[in-house]
A and B are shown apart, each in its own frame.
Chain A
Amino acid sequence: MNIWEYANPRRFTAVIDRLLPVLVPMAAICLTCALFWGFFLTPDDYRQGSTVKIIYLHVPAALMAINAWIMMLIASLIWLIRRHHVSALLAKSAAHVGIVFTLVALLTGAIWGKPMWGTYWAWDPRLTSFLILFLFYLGYLALWSAIEDPDSAADLTSVLCMVGSVFALLSRYAVNFWNQGLHQGASLSLDKEEHVSDVFWQPLVLSIAGFVLLFIVLVLVLTRSEIRMRRAIALMKRIPSR
């Protein structure tokens, strides 16, 4: 079985049609359980009080904002190297979803920051690199809308995506690069000493799983819509005008 067979739009949409009935209920169950568990059943933190409940929204959103861009980078590289249209459409769809995750991460971070740091915003390395990542998302989507020819748009946005990847990685590792700044270190780590307590960690992992599934579902549905729309346009062009 060759993986590139799925670059065929018809085969790709057939796979999406088969995956969605499984992924949608999984995402709904994971998110409902995680947010209920996190909001209603976890205790307050001894230092941060009830604001710790924001972690179940903020961390998954921030994680997905960065990972969406990494996924766009991989899809863009596939487009540039192999010219598969599905990969370009996947990157475009991931940007539409990724920008909302980035906005949620910035919004929840600011709301969480006010009671903890005394300010909604600080020019901290992690916050600043995240804001730049958000601006890159805006620029990426604006570029897709600005160029009429889909292949040229895919080429240019792929290049922009590669440039923006620097900030996606910077957002992820800014805490390790610079020690100054208000933002704390990573909430999850393979080193048990470093990450949050088990009582917060378990619903957080479930919440991350739920948001990952939600992201996959939305990207697949959007990609299928883009494929259908392109096919519709191609068919309409084939009909001779009177």
Chain B
Amino acid sequence: MIPDLGKYALPVLAAYGGSILLYVGLIVLVIRKNRAAKRALNLAEAQVEKKSTALA
């Protein structure tokens, strides 16, 4: 399946491997940050609601 890359196989595969690794790492970090922010907001909103209910 992999095309014949000849004598340049190592640099080509290293460039693709390294880049994909960096992009996947970035995507994972962005998804984790998104989840953490959503969780923090939900928690804060729940606490505010709890507090306002208690005051009422």
Measuring CB to CB, which residues of chain A are less than 8 angstroms from any residue of chain B?
39-40, 44, 49-51, 53-54, 57-58, 61, 97, 100, 103-104, 107-108, 111-112, 114-115, 214, 218, 221-222, 224-226, 228-229, 231-233, 235-236, 238-240
Q: In the docked arrangement, what's the CA distance between A57 and B9, Å? A: 16
Bitwise, B5-17 to A at CB < 8 A (1) or not (0) is: 1111101101110
Q: Are B27 and A218 in contact (CB under 8 A)?
A: yes
Known: A107-B15, A228-B37. A115 touches B45 (CB 8 A): no
Measuring CB to CB, which residues of chain B are less than 8 angstroms from any residue of chain A?
1, 3-9, 11-12, 14-16, 18-19, 22-23, 25-27, 30-31, 33-34, 36-38, 40-41, 43-45, 47-48, 51
Q: Are B30 and A51 in contact (CB under 8 A)?
A: no
Which residues of A are found within 8 Å of B34, using beta-carbon distances? 221-222, 224-225
- Pick the contact of B38 from A54, A103, A228 — CB < 8 Å? A228
Which residues of A are found within 8 Å of B25, using beta-carbon distances? 100
Which residues of B are found within 8 Å of A228, using beta-carbon distances? 37-38, 40-41
Which residues of A are found within 8 Å of B51, using beta-carbon distances? 239-240
Q: Are A236 and B47 in contact (CB under 8 A)?
A: yes
Q: Are B11 and A114 in contact (CB under 8 A)?
A: yes
Q: In the docked arrangement, what's the CA distance between A190 and B41, Å? A: 47
Q: Are A232 and B15 in contact (CB under 8 A)?
A: no
Q: Are B12 and A50 in contact (CB under 8 A)?
A: yes
Q: Are B41 and A51 in contact (CB under 8 A)?
A: no
Q: Are A236 and B44 in contact (CB under 8 A)?
A: yes
| From B1, B30, B38, residue with most partner A Cβ within 10 Å | B30
